Structure 1
Amino acid sequence: MKFCDECGSMMKTEGDDWVCGSCGYEESRNEAEEAKTAVTTQGQEETEVIDTSDVSAEDMGPTTEARCPECGNDQAFWEMKQIRAADESETRFFTCTECEHKWREDDH
C-alpha cells in the first residue's frame, strides 16, 4: 500500500506505476522497496475447527437476532474470535438456533 505524496490519498497500482485516484499523481513502482514492506501470514497459527454437535443449547452461549442464510430463522448463537492479526477486528461466528447452519461475518 502506498499513499500519495501530493494529497495523502491511497494510491493504486496500474502496470509499472502507482496512480492516485484523487489527484492523478503518478509515481514509478520500485519492486525492491515493495518487497520489503509486503505483508505475509507466515508464522501465524492455524485455527482449528471445533465440533459443537454434542453441546447442548444452554451451553452454546448467547443468542442474537441474525437471519440464517439457509432457513431464514432470525435467531442465532454467536461468539467472537480473533483469527486475524491483532490490529484487525474480531470475526463474528453464528450458529442458527433452528437448523444449526454455521456462518461468519468479518468487518471489511
Structure 2
Amino acid sequence: MLFCPYCANNLTIGDGEESPEKCWVCPTCPYQWVITQQISMRTHLARKQVDDVMGGEDAWKNVDQTDADCPKCESHRAYFRQLQIRSADEPMTTFYKCVKCGWQWREN
C-alpha cells in the first residue's frame, strides 16, 4: 500500500492525466506518481512459539492435580488447567501435564 504524501489517503492505480502511462493516483487530491518500475515488498513475520501462546512454564505453577491417564508413560496423575480458546459459546478446553514425565495433551 502506498499513501499520498499530502493528504495520507490510499493511492490507487489509474491513468495519468498528462501522460498515457499508469500512475499512482490519489482519489481526493490531484497527486499523481508515474509508475516507472515494479514495486514489491515482502515481510516475513516471526512465528510465536507454542510456549509463548500457552503461557510457558509459569502457566503450570500452582495448578491442581487430578486422576488422568498419560498417553505417553501410562501414569495416572496429571496437572490440569482450563482455557477458553474458542468463542465464548464453546466449552473451555482442558489441558493436562503428566506429573511423572511432563508430557502435555489436551482433552478432546
Q: What is the TM-score when the length of structure 2 is the normalising length? A: 0.47
Greater Rg by CA: 2
